[in-house]
Amino acid sequence: MDIHKANSRPTTFAGSEYFTGKVMMDPIVTAPEPARVRALRVSFSPGARTNWHTHPLGQTLYVISGVGRIQKQGETIQEILPGDTIWIEPGEKHWHGAAPDHAMSHIAIQEELEGKHADWLEQVTDDEYQK
């Protein structure tokens, strides 16, 4: 059993390769094999968001604070609020992030397949984000 106290692992900032705006990450778990789940807390500043991306085994988001946005390719942007859970199917192209005037923090849970848990794609443009 490993207990990681809340103050024991520093927050990191997500790189601009896969994100737009200021995004912070706090680790929850990277389970060793044969388990394959990965979870982290992700905190988006207002206007910040992921690139478009997919997950080989899907992803679960659980919103814990703020006001957020999520979009599946080809559908309209949806607002997400604390307590909301989102299940994203394997291979489903999507993005998520904060609302333009609100921060948003969620827990992200995904499983790793063949060494990766996400396939990163192009940026979400300001035009796409503002729609």
Contact string 41-80 vs a second copy (x = CB under 8 A): ----------------xx-x-x-x-----x-x--x--x-x
Task: CB nearer to a second copy: give 17 or 106.
Answer: 106
Write the burial class of residue 80 (CB in 10 Å: 0-12 exposed, 13-18 middle, 19+ buried): buried
- Both tokens of 45, joined, read 């500043």
- Both tokens of 65, joined, read 């604070």
Distance CA 13, CA 20 (A): 12
84 binds a second copy (CB under 8 A): yes
- Both tokens of 4, joined, read 């990681």
Residues that bind a second copy (CB under 8 A): 1-7, 27-29, 31, 34-37, 39, 57-58, 60, 62, 64, 70, 72, 75, 78, 80-90, 92, 94, 107, 109-111
